[in-house]
Amino acid sequence: MPQRRISASAPGGTFFLTFTVQRWYYIFDRHARWQILAEALSYRRAHAGLQLHGFVFMLNHIHLIATAPDAAGFVRDFKRHTAARLYENLGTTEPRVQELFRTEDGGYSLWQSGSAAMALETERMFQQKLTYIHENPVRKQYVARPEHWFWSSANPDCPLQPDPSS
């Protein structure tokens, strides 16, 4: 069963994660915002020991299968960094949309809280979630086949690729 959050005291592991934009608002279909996500994941791979096994970037959420030595730290840092970069991008490209994410205290909140984290403890669970991720754009009828969605680990032409051990 998915948990809203990964416990800070939990060790690393392999998790299925979902990050969803507040109000399920579509922000990723323009202004190089998918690239912001890809760069943040690439940075975590290079500097924080993240292994990326599968992913799909949708219009208002992303799904990942990832292994991290500090999974809670990865979620916290990834969401914090991407929220700042995406909010800045919104301010430059769509200031009116940026207002949708302002909080009552004058700050902003781009991502919904939690990450629907699910520890993947068996190969069967791993394969089920990887299939779910890859089929997501097909279920939404955006594409006919998983490999046709550009920002997906199912697409061999995507600039972000899963780790070789995946």
Q: What is the pTM of this model?
A: 0.91
- pLDDT at residue 163 tops 70: yes
Each residue of 116-155: pLDDT tens digit? 899 999 999 999 999 999 999 999 999 999 999 999 999 9
According to the model, what pLDDT value does residue 164 have? 86
Question: What pLDDT is stored for residue 3 in this prediction?
Answer: 43
Long-range contacts of 117-125 (CB under 8 A, 24+ apart): 117/2, 117/3, 117/4, 117/5, 117/6, 117/15, 117/16, 117/17, 117/71, 117/75, 118/1, 118/2, 118/3, 118/15, 118/16, 119/13, 119/14, 119/15, 120/13, 120/14, 120/15, 120/16, 120/65
Answer whether residue 166 shows pLDDT above 90: no
If you average pLDDT over every residue of the chain, what do you get?
Answer: 93
- Tell whether the model's pLDDT for residue 32 goes beyond 90: yes
Residue 61: pLDDT band (50, 70, 90) is very high
pLDDT tens-digit profile of 1-17?
344 455 544 567 899 99
Give the model's pLDDT for residue 1.
39
